[in-house]
Chains A and B, each alone.
Chain A
């Protein structure tokens, strides 16, 4: 049974519109992450969270907000979507075992902004 799920799996949005990507994890991990994946750039960290109520900026946070209302849920919000935000977005969860922990990824959301 999948431990990290994402919804929607595919999304088409219009420029200037608001987009919310959702992530749910059943690993009981404190840490959650949002990445985008683009050809030539690999995986880049957008936002992450240490636990419910916390959000931290990653390496490319501009144009994105994040929300962590509970241990299980972590959302990525594009208030004013732009075509440059067309990408595949991955959510991940990870434990509190310091450098020994691994991250568990969801299946991804393909976002197209027209």
Chain B
């Protein structure tokens, strides 16, 4: 009964391919996020959704497209993958209006060859 779960855990793919990462939370939170952690461990927000509505979009290339079918799910689709996309992608959730505590998923290690 993992609180924030994301799949797959590892993703190895060729340049130019399209891939998706899925995230689900069972905490009843209404806000979900995608963070990117690069090889130097730097954590940077990419997107944030509140109740299926996009509220933060941090100058991410439009090859990255988040989709939130409902407030418990936030998926990330990446088109035309590039070498520089290799990183760990973390999904997270929080409850707006209560506090800002983030609960992270276990991460997806994306390797673009």
Q: Do A and B bind each other?
A: no
